[in-house]
Amino acid sequence: MIDNIFFDLTVIFVISTLLLSIAKILKQPVIPVYIITGILLVPIFEIIHVKDFVSSISYFGIVFLLFIAGLELKFDKLKNVSSVASIGGTILVMLLFLIGIAVASLFGLNVISSIFMGLIFAFSSTMVVVKILSDKKQLDSLHGKIAMGLLVIQDIFAIVAFVALTSYGDFSMAKLVELLINIAIVSFIFIVAAKYILPKTFSFVAKFQDLLFLTSITVCLFFALIFGIFISPEALGIGAFLAGLALANLPYDLEIISRISPLKDFFSLLFFTSIGMLLPLEYIFANLSFTITFVLLILVLRPIITFIIIRFFNYMPRVAFLTAITQSQISEFGLILAFFGKATGSLSDELFASIIVIAVLSLTLTSYLTKYENKIYGFVKKYLTFFGGSKTNYDLENLPTKFKKKFILIVGYDRLGYSVLKTLKKKHESIVVVDYNPEVIKKLVEDKIHCIYGDISDSELIGRLKLKNCKLIISTIPEEDSSSLIMQKFKEINNKG
């Protein structure tokens, strides 16, 4: 058995390395390569015996990815998006759940199967989104934080749904009380550890690099295990995510991230390869109209609904769009629900196969949507005004009628902008801050800092900034196109002057 596993894992890595090399030359995303590796392995090799092993060990990838996501996000940064994440995330899950049930019913599925499809349609993949945002260094961006907030809410609903389905026909008030008590116990353990135990522990272990690494892994797995035991096996990821958040406020987070990242890539490979292995080639063209319909709903309708909800919370069209694009795939919870449905007879073999095909297609196409997100946004931007994209919000700005001296423009406050502003204020410089996070602008307005809410790539906003009175632009945003645009406009105006 060990020899077989060693051989098969070697084959997985050899094939994925070759395919990934080709993909890098062709500038293709990583996730489709791993999925294709899994698809190619099934007919070529007899590796059925390794599927369970690969699937089990790849789940560690989810745990480590969410742990790193928690480390990079931090509590205080998630607070800024708490409203859109909690309220907007709840509305999103409910709407998608009902739409999924309705569409499944139109295809003649029974009530139970339709409920399964509604749940599968309602949740996006935390694993995929964290992988994509992490690779693009966007976890700490505004749309990255909103996306993670939405996913945490979705994961909570997914756990509740899974517990409800597994308890179907055997549910009682006693079980509900037991679950609530377990949640209280886990919350107490987490708060005590985060506030008192971990800071003292890490002040000692940080002196030794190898011990820092092992202790971090231990904390990650401990919280994941606690959540898995007391709440649900599907809550492992949430436990790991909270473990990351608990360590994020300590001064050792960057060192921990740098040491754990290689493990993340290893387990990500196994996770996406295992999904490719699941693809039932004999059923790939079964229920074709059903499969295509749900793929289109996931790739088109779900992002549109997500976009509208985020815009309702007064975020800029660009932020809403980039967040919405990340939500266009089936969740790993959806796959777990599909396996459970098949095992209990709630889902037929053909329907289960269709769900796997939908998952593979949506996961693959999401990679391309996020790869070309800026080009897609540039194409659809003019159509987004229907959702209030061009409306100016004068409540979210504090611009002077006239500057006594030339000002310095800071583009992006939530990253390095805070430190830059603090330094420039000490030098008594005139400053204007541009940011597309309404919560940040509200705080700046309260602090009587000159600021304006908006997307710097918006020509109307650039016009209102009166760049002829600007002597310096400091851009801290990760979007190169937007930074280049404002610099170009600045040069044009100064050359004319």
- 266 or 375, which is more confident: 375
Rounded (5°) CA angle 487-488-489: 90
What residues does 473 pair with on adjacent strands?
409
Rounded (5°) CA angle 406-407-409: 145
Give the pLDDT band (50/70/90) at residue 390.
very low
> Is residue 375's pLDDT more than 90?
no
Among 278, 281, 294, 285, residue whose Cα is nearest residue 109? 294
Other C-beta atoms lying within 10 Å of the C-beta of residue 440: 21
CA pair distance 442, 422, nearest whole angstrom: 17
> Is residue 144's pLDDT more than 60?
yes
Is residue 278 included in any domain, yes or no?
yes
Kindly state whether residues 220 and 272 are assigned to the same domain.
yes
Bridge-based pairing of strands 451-453 and 470-475 is unpaired
With beta carbons less than 8 A apart as the criterion, state whether 303 and 327 touch: yes
Q: Count of residues for the chain?
A: 497
Is residue 373 included in any domain, yes or no?
yes
CA pair distance 380, 112, nearest whole angstrom: 38
- Most confident of the ranges 30-34, 254-258, 332-336, 460-464: 30-34
Compute the average pLDDT of residues 165-190. 76
Q: What is the DSSP letter of 436?
A: S
Kindly state whether residues 277 and 147 are assigned to the same domain.
yes
Query: For the domain that residue 468 is a member of, what is the CATH number?
Result: 3.40.50.720
Kindly state whether residues 89 and 228 are assigned to the same domain.
yes
pLDDT digits (tens, 9 = 90+) for 403-420: 677 888 988 887 677 788
Is residue 12 included in any domain, yes or no?
no
Kindly state whether residues 230 and 333 are assigned to the same domain.
yes
Token output for 188: 């107490």
Token output for 192: 């005590």
How many domains is the chain built from? 2
Token output for 204: 């000692």
Kindly state whether residues 456 and 347 are assigned to the same domain.
no
CA pair distance 11, 137, nearest whole angstrom: 30
> Is residue 445's pLDDT more than 90?
no
Compute the average pLDDT of residues 18-23. 88
- 174 or 51, which is more confident: 174
With beta carbons less than 8 A apart as the criterion, state whether 154 and 96 touch: no
- Most confident of the ranges 155-164, 227-236, 321-330: 321-330
Give the pLDDT band (50/70/90) at residue 123.
very high
430, burial (CB in 10 Å: exposed 0-12, middle 13-18, buried 19+): middle
Of 332, 352, 387, the one marking the end of a domain is: 387
Give the pLDDT band (50/70/90) at residue 267.
confident
pLDDT of residue 88: 94
pLDDT of residue 270: 77
> Whole domain around residue 290: which residue ranges?
54-387
- Most confident of the ranges 60-64, 172-176, 239-243, 479-483: 239-243
- 91 or 175, which is more confident: 91
> Is residue 393's pLDDT more than 60?
no
Is residue 26 included in any domain, yes or no?
no
Give the pLDDT band (50/70/90) at residue 91.
very high
> Is residue 197's pLDDT more than 60?
yes
pLDDT over 90, % of the chain: 17
Token output for 216: 């971090």
Among 354, 361, 372, 262, residue whose Cα is nearest residue 32? 361
Is residue 14 included in any domain, yes or no?
no
- Most confident of the ranges 51-60, 139-148, 196-205: 196-205
Kindly state whether residues 354 and 406 are assigned to the same domain.
no
Give the pLDDT band (50/70/90) at residue 345.
confident
Give the pLDDT band (50/70/90) at residue 77.
low
Compute the average pLDDT of residues 319-347. 86
Give per-residue burial for 27-63: e unless 16+ CB within 10 Å, then b. Answer: ebbbbbbbbbbbbbbbeeeebeebbebbbebbbbbbb
pLDDT of residue 387: 63
> Is residue 389's pLDDT more than 60?
no
Kindly state whether residues 290 and 357 are assigned to the same domain.
yes
Is residue 377 included in any domain, yes or no?
yes
Among 234, 267, 231, 239, residue whose Cα is nearest residue 60? 267
pLDDT over 70, % of the chain: 87
Kindly state whether residues 406 and 299 are assigned to the same domain.
no
Is residue 24 included in any domain, yes or no?
no
pTM of the model: 0.78
Kindly state whether residues 86 and 111 are assigned to the same domain.
yes
Kindly state whether residues 259 and 383 are assigned to the same domain.
yes
Give the pLDDT band (50/70/90) at residue 119.
very high
- Most confident of the ranges 201-205, 273-277, 455-459: 201-205
- Three-state DSSP at 99 gives helix
- 97 or 176, which is more confident: 97
Kindly state whether residues 210 and 307 are assigned to the same domain.
yes
CA 357 from chain centre, in angstroms, equals: 22
Give the pLDDT band (50/70/90) at residue 1.
very low
pLDDT of residue 70: 79
CA pair distance 143, 139, nearest whole angstrom: 8
Q: Please, what is the average pLDDT of the chain?
A: 82
With beta carbons less than 8 A apart as the criterion, state whether 319 and 142 touch: yes
Compute the average pLDDT of residues 426-432. 84
Token output for 237: 């990821």
CA pair distance 66, 126, nearest whole angstrom: 8
Query: For the domain that residue 165 is a member of, what is the CATH number?
Result: 1.20.1530.20
> Is residue 435's pLDDT more than 60?
yes
Identity at 170, one-letter amino acid code: D
SS3 sequence, 255-304? HHHHHHHHHHHHHHHHHHHHHHHHCCHHHCCCCHHHHHHHHHHHHHHHHH
Look at the block and give the residue holding tokens 């992006």: 412
Is residue 33 included in any domain, yes or no?
no
Kindly state whether residues 381 and 402 are assigned to the same domain.
no
CA pair distance 59, 234, nearest whole angstrom: 10
